[in-house]
A and B are shown apart, each in its own frame.
Chain A
Amino acid sequence: MTDRLYATFYIDDTLFGIDATDVQEVLRAQPMTSVPLAPADIKGLINLRGQIVVAVDLRERLGRGPAPDDVQSLNVVVRTEHGPVSLIVDDIGDVLKVSDDALERPPETITSPTRDLVVAVHKLDEQLMLVVDAKRTAEPMAA
C-alpha cells in the first residue's frame, strides 16, 4: 500500500488532484500577455522570474466555459519536459496524502474532454477527487 501526495484544486465545485511532485509552485493571478490566434485553451504568457511560461486554461481544457466573474483564478505551475507550464484553476485546496487503495479507474461514462485528462478517481470521505495527469494537461491540445 503506497501513499501519494496530491496538490488539489477546484474548477467550479469539482475537486481535482495532481501529483504533488509535478507541481513547481502556485501563484496568484499574474499579468498575462494574450496570444492572438492561439488555441482556445492557451490563456496567454506569463513572466515567471524571467522565464516565459504558457498559461493553459484548465476550464477551457475541460470544456467548462469561462469562469464566473467573482473567481480570482490561480496559477498552478507544473514541470514538464518542455519546461514549466502554468495551469489556470479557480481555487486551490490542500495537499492531500491519499492511499492508492482509494484509487479507481475513471468511469467509462465520463465524457470528453474531461476524459482525456483524468487518469483516476479517488474516493475521499467527503467527495471524489479527479486525478489529472499533469504532463498530459500541459501538452499542446491534440488536433
Chain B
Amino acid sequence: MDDMDDVIQEFLLESYEGLDELDREFIELESNPASEELLASIFRTIHTIKGTAGFFGFDHLGEVTHAGESLLSLLREGTLPLNVAITDALLTMVDAVRVMLNEVEKTQADGTNEWAELVQELNRLADPSAGTPTETKAPETGEPSDTATDKPAESSAVGVDTETPIASPVTEDAAHPTEKPTPIATETEANSSVADSSIRVDVALLDRLMNLVGELVLARNQVLQYHALRADNSFQGTTQQLDLITTELQESVMKTRLQPIGNVWAKFPRVVRDLSASLDKSVSLEMIGKDTELDKTLIEAIKDPLTHIVRNSVDHGIESPEERVGAGKPETGTLTLRAYHEGGQVIIEIADDGGGLDLSRIRDKAVSQGLITPDRAAAMTDRDLANLIFAPGFSTAEQVTAVSGRGVGMDVVRTNVEKISGSLDIVTNKGIGTTLTIKIPLTLAIIPALIITCDVDKYLIPQVNLLEVLHIGPETSAKLEVAGDAEVLRLRGRLLPIVHLRQVLGREPAEEGASGQGQNIVVIQADGRELGLVVDQINDTEEIVVKPLSPHLKSIGVYAGTTIMGDGAVSLILDAVGIGRVSGVVNEASRHHDTADVVDKDEQRGATQSYLVAQVSGDLVAIPLALVSRLEELDPSLVERAAGKLVIQYRGRLLNLVHLSKILGKSDTDIDRDESLRLLVYESDGQSYGLIVDEILDVFEADLSDGVPSTQRGLAISGVIGRRVTDLIDLDEIVAMANAVTDQLVMV
C-alpha cells in the first residue's frame, strides 16, 4: 500500500476540497433550485469521487456516491424537482463521504460501514414509485451496525447511520436528518490533516513568484555592486541581511515548484512488467528516493528520456533467465532507479545487474560507423567507450525490435537531457551490470554563466556549455592554423574548429593590433561537438536569471535568452548549439537525426560529413575530417629511413610517411627535397602515418552516399565534393598498402 500513498493523498486532498465546495453549493442550490450550473458542478464532484473510489476499490464509498450520483442526474435532467428531503439526503451523503475519506486517511480503507440505509434512501428518493422503504429497512440497517460494533472507533459514524430516520415520511421529517451531519462534520474536520496542511496554487502564480524573485536577485546584485563602492557600516549590515534573505527566499520559492520524481516513476512498474513479460525476462524494479524533488518543468522534460533508458535496460541490459542462471546470478534481474540531491543537482541513476555493455562491439561499431578513428578507439578508456553509445547515430542492435535498436537511441536521450542543461554518464562492468547516471540542475530559471565581451557588448555563455577557456598569444606555443578556409587550433593533439564570435554576430573583425596580443578562446560544447569561440574579452561568471527571448528575435538562432546584468543592462545569452549550427560545426544531418524514424546504416555512413580535401598529383582526394588528427608542414631534410621505410621523427615518435601519389599509382616522382612536406597525420593501431599530399585545399561538407564505389585499391568511393570529382581515401587500406610496400620511396 505504500506505493499508493501519494496517489491516495492526492485523491484525499482533491476530494476534501470538492466536499467543501459541495457544502456551499448545496446551500446555494436551496435558494436557487433550478440552477443547472450548480447541479452540474455538484454532479461532477460526486462523479469524480465515485470514479476514483472505484479505482482504489473503496466499494462502500463507491456505492454511496453512485446512489447520490443517480439521484443528482435525475435532478440535473429536471425529471425530479429538488425538495428539502432530497437536499437533506444529499447532504447526509456528503457527510458520509467525509467520514469515509477520514477513514481512508487513517486506515487506507473506507471502513466497514456499508451505509446501506443512506444508499437505500438515496435510491428511494431517486425512484419514489418503488416499494416502501419500511420493508427493507430492518435487515439492511442491522448489518452495518453489527459489523460496526466490533470496531468501537467507528461508533460515531454508525450512530448517524442507524439513527437516520429513513423510514419516516420524507417531507414531514425533514428537519431531523439535517441535525445529524453536524457532529460528524466537526469530527472529520478535526482530523483532516491533509486538507489543512496544504493548499492548491495555480502554477501561473508560482511562475510569477519565481519571476519576481528573479527580479529581486537582480536588484540584490545591483545593491551589492553599489555597496562595494561605499564603506558604510550600517549600510553593510543591511546589505548582508538583504543578501541572506534574498537567497533564502529564492530557495523557498524554488521549492514551491518542486515535485517528487516519484510522479514520473509511478508508471515504470507497469512498463517494466509489460516489457519483461513480452521479452520472457524476469525483472524486478526497485525505486529508491522517490521523494527527491525537482522543478516541475524538469520533471516533464525528464519523463521521455527516463522511459527510454528504462526500456533499454530491460531490453538490452538484463539477460534472459537462462543466461542469468548460467552466469550464476538469480533468475530475476533487478533494475534499480535511485534519485538523490548532490551539490545543487539532482542525480538519477538507472542501474541494472545485467550483462553489461559489450565494449568491444561498441568499439567496432563506432569505428565502422566512422565515429572515431581506430587508433583513438584503441586508446579509449572503458568509460569513454561506454559513453560512445550517446554519440549521434550510434546503435549496436543487430536487429530492429519493437523496443529499441532503430537508430534513434541514446543520442536522443542525450539531446533531451542536454536541453535541460543536464549531463549523462555511463559505467559498465562486464557480467555485473550497467549504471547510467543523469545529472540535472534543480531549476533552469537561475543559472551560472560566463560573461564575455564581443565588440562593445557583453554576452553570456551558460556554464553548462563551457568546457574550458584558453588564451593563445605570442608567448604560448599554440597558434591558430588554417585548413582550407577553416581555422583550427591544435588542442592536445586534436583539431578544434575555431569560430570568431565577431564573425558569427556579423561584427567588424577585431583590429590587427588587438590580435597581436593574443586571443581568448572559449571552448564550448554544442550537441556533443566541441568548438573554439574567439571572443574579445573574458570577464567573469555570474548567476543570471534567464528571461525568454522575444518572438522578434527567436528566428535569429544564436541566442538562447536574455538577462539583466548587475548594472541593470540587458544582455543576450548565447546559444551554443545555435552558434555551432550557424558556423557549420553542428550540421543539420546530425541535428535532425532524432526525427528520422528508421535510419539505415548505409544512410548513416553516407550522411553529410566534413571532409578534408587535398590535391595529389592534380587529382582531388578526400578524408573524413574526423579521422585526421593533425595537419603538418615539415622540412624534407628531416626524412629518415628506418626498416626500409621513410619516417620522420615527430614529437618523440616515428611518423611513417605514406607517399599517396605513388601508392595510388598517380606518379612515380619522389619526394621533392626543396619543398616542405605537407602531411595529413592519421593514427592507427598506435602508429602515426603522414600522408604526403601536394596541397591541402579545404574542408567541405558533403554527402558521398551517391558516389560510385571505386575499383582502385586504396580508394573507397568517387563522389562529387564542391562540384569536383573527388576520391574518398580508404585509410585502412592505404595504411595496409603502405606497410606492405617496403622501400617505396627512393630518395634522389
A residues apposed to B, CB below 8 Å: 31, 33-39, 42, 44-47, 50, 52, 54, 56, 82-83, 140
Q: B128: CB under 8 A from chain A?
A: no
Q: B571: CB under 8 A from chain A?
A: yes
Q: Is the CB of B550 within 8 A of A54?
A: yes
Question: Quick one: which of B531-581 are within 8 Å of A by CB?
Answer: 547, 550-553, 555-556, 558-559, 562, 564, 568-572
Could you jot down 27 A-B contacts, CB within 8 Å? A33-B570, A33-B572, A34-B457, A35-B559, A36-B457, A36-B506, A37-B506, A37-B558, A38-B553, A39-B552, A42-B552, A42-B553, A44-B570, A45-B562, A45-B572, A46-B570, A47-B564, A47-B570, A50-B564, A52-B550, A52-B562, A52-B564, A54-B550, A82-B551, A83-B550, A140-B551, A140-B555
Q: B507: CB under 8 A from chain A?
A: yes
Q: B505: CB under 8 A from chain A?
A: yes
**In the bound complex, what is the Cα–Cα distance between A2 and B452 (angstroms)?**
55
Chain A residues in 8 Å Cβ range of B179: none
Residues of B in contact (CB 8 Å), total 23
Q: What is the CB-to-nearest-CB distance from B220 to chain A, in angstroms, rounded to a whole number?
A: 12
Name the residue of chain A whose CB is nearest to the CB of B218: A50
Given contacts A47-B569, A52-B547, contact A33 B457 (CB under 8 A): yes
Q: B215: CB under 8 A from chain A?
A: yes
4 closest residue pairs by CB, A with B: A36-B505, A33-B570, A50-B215, A45-B570
Chain A residues in 8 Å Cβ range of B551: 82, 140
Question: Quick one: which of B488-511 are within 8 Å of A by CB?
Answer: 505-507
Chain A residues in 8 Å Cβ range of B569: 31, 33, 47
Q: Is the CB of B552 within 8 A of A52?
A: no
**In the bound complex, what is the Cα–Cα distance between A78 and B571 (angstroms)?**
22
Name the residue of chain A whose CB is nearest to the CB of B459: A36
**In the bound complex, what is the Cα–Cα distance between A34 and B559 (angstroms)?**
13
Q: What is the CB-to-nearest-CB distance from A36 to chain B, in angstroms, rounded to a whole number?
A: 4
Q: Is the CB of A54 within 8 A of B570?
A: no
Chain A residues in 8 Å Cβ range of B559: 35
**In the bound complex, what is the Cα–Cα distance between A77 and B564 (angstroms)?**
19
Name the residue of chain B whose CB is nearest to the CB of A30: B570
**Of A35, A47, A56, which is in contact with the most chain B CB atoms at under 10 Å from its CB?**
A35
- Render B363-396 as a binary contact track against A, CB cut-off 8 A, 1 for contact: 0000000000000000000000000000000000
**In the bound complex, what is the Cα–Cα distance between A44 and B569 (angstroms)?**
12
Q: What is the CB-to-nearest-CB distance from B403 to chain A, in angstroms, rounded to a whole number?
A: 42
Q: Is the CB of B558 within 8 A of A52?
A: no
Chain A residues in 8 Å Cβ range of B218: 50
B residues apposed to A, CB below 8 Å: 215, 218-219, 457, 505-507, 547, 550-553, 555-556, 558-559, 562, 564, 568-572
Q: What is the CB-to-nearest-CB distance from A135 to chain B, in angstroms, rounded to a whole number?
A: 13
Q: What is the CB-to-nearest-CB distance from B319 to chain A, in angstroms, rounded to a whole number?
A: 53
Chain A residues in 8 Å Cβ range of B507: 36
Chain A residues in 8 Å Cβ range of B564: 47, 50, 52
Chain B residues in 8 Å Cβ range of A42: 552-553
**Of A31, A37, A44, A54, which is in contact with the most chain B CB atoms at under 10 Å from its CB?**
A37
Name the residue of chain B whose CB is nearest to the CB of A140: B552
Chain A residues in 8 Å Cβ range of B558: 37
Q: Is the CB of B568 within 8 A of A54?
A: no
Q: Is the CB of A37 within 8 A of B550?
A: no
Q: Is the CB of B505 within 8 A of A38?
A: no
**In the bound complex, what is the Cα–Cα distance between A82 and B218 (angstroms)?**
23
Name the residue of chain A whose CB is nearest to the CB of B505: A36
Chain B residues in 8 Å Cβ range of A39: 552
Q: Is the CB of B556 within 8 A of A37?
A: yes
**In the bound complex, what is the Cα–Cα distance between A83 and B556 (angstroms)?**
20
Q: What is the CB-to-nearest-CB distance from A5 to chain B, in angstroms, rounded to a whole number?
A: 27
Name the residue of chain B whose CB is nearest to the CB of A39: B552
**Of A36, A39, A46, A83, which is in contact with the most chain B CB atoms at under 10 Å from its CB?**
A36
Chain B residues in 8 Å Cβ range of A31: 568-569
Q: Is the CB of A37 within 8 A of B572?
A: no
Name the residue of chain B whose CB is nearest to the CB of A141: B552
**In the bound complex, what is the Cα–Cα distance between A47 and B569 (angstroms)?**
7
**Of A34, A45, A54, A83, which is in contact with the most chain B CB atoms at under 10 Å from its CB?**
A45
**In the bound complex, what is the Cα–Cα distance between A47 and B550 (angstroms)?**
13
**In the bound complex, what is the Cα–Cα distance between A65 and B551 (angstroms)?**
24
Q: Is the CB of A38 within 8 A of B552?
A: yes
Q: What is the CB-to-nearest-CB distance from A57 to chain B, in angstroms, rounded to a whole number?
A: 12
Given contacts A45-B562, A46-B570, contact A37 B552 (CB under 8 A): no
Given contacts A50-B215, A82-B550, A82-B551, contact A35 B568 (CB under 8 A): no
Chain A residues in 8 Å Cβ range of B219: 50
Q: What is the CB-to-nearest-CB distance from A61 to chain B, in angstroms, rounded to a whole number?
A: 12
**In the bound complex, what is the Cα–Cα distance between A86 and B270 (angstroms)?**
53
Chain B residues in 8 Å Cβ range of A46: 570
Chain B residues in 8 Å Cβ range of A83: 550
Q: Is the CB of A52 within 8 A of B215?
A: no
Name the residue of chain A whose CB is nearest to the CB of B216: A50
**In the bound complex, what is the Cα–Cα distance between A56 and B571 (angstroms)?**
17
Chain B residues in 8 Å Cβ range of A35: 553, 556, 559, 572
Chain A residues in 8 Å Cβ range of B562: 45, 52
Name the residue of chain A whose CB is nearest to the CB of B507: A36
Name the residue of chain A whose CB is nearest to the CB of B564: A47
Chain B residues in 8 Å Cβ range of A47: 564, 568-570
Name the residue of chain B whose CB is nearest to the CB of A42: B552
Q: What is the CB-to-nearest-CB distance from B558 to chain A, in angstroms, rounded to a whole number?
A: 7
**In the bound complex, what is the Cα–Cα distance between A25 and B721 (angstroms)?**
57
**In the bound complex, what is the Cα–Cα distance between A87 and B232 (angstroms)?**
42
Given contacts A47-B564, A52-B562, contact A33 B552 (CB under 8 A): no
Q: What is the CB-to-nearest-CB distance from A47 to chain B, in angstroms, rounded to a whole number?
A: 5
Name the residue of chain B whose CB is nearest to the CB of A56: B552
**In the bound complex, what is the Cα–Cα distance between A31 and B553 (angstroms)?**
19
**In the bound complex, what is the Cα–Cα distance between A56 and B553 (angstroms)?**
12
**In the bound complex, what is the Cα–Cα distance between A58 and B569 (angstroms)?**
23
Name the residue of chain A whose CB is nearest to the CB of B582: A37
**In the bound complex, what is the Cα–Cα distance between A36 and B500 (angstroms)?**
14
Name the residue of chain A whose CB is nearest to the CB of B568: A47
Name the residue of chain B whose CB is nearest to the CB of A36: B505
Q: Is the CB of A37 within 8 A of B547?
A: no
Chain B residues in 8 Å Cβ range of A33: 457, 569-572
**In the bound complex, what is the Cα–Cα distance between A45 and B459 (angstroms)?**
13
**In the bound complex, what is the Cα–Cα distance between A38 and B505 (angstroms)?**
10
Chain B residues in 8 Å Cβ range of A44: 570
**In the bound complex, what is the Cα–Cα distance between A36 and B506 (angstroms)?**
7
Chain A residues in 8 Å Cβ range of B571: 33
Q: Is the CB of A37 within 8 A of B568?
A: no
Contacts A37-B505, A52-B550 known; 12 new A-B pairs at CB < 8 A = A33-B572, A34-B457, A35-B572, A37-B556, A44-B570, A45-B570, A45-B572, A46-B570, A47-B570, A50-B215, A52-B562, A54-B550
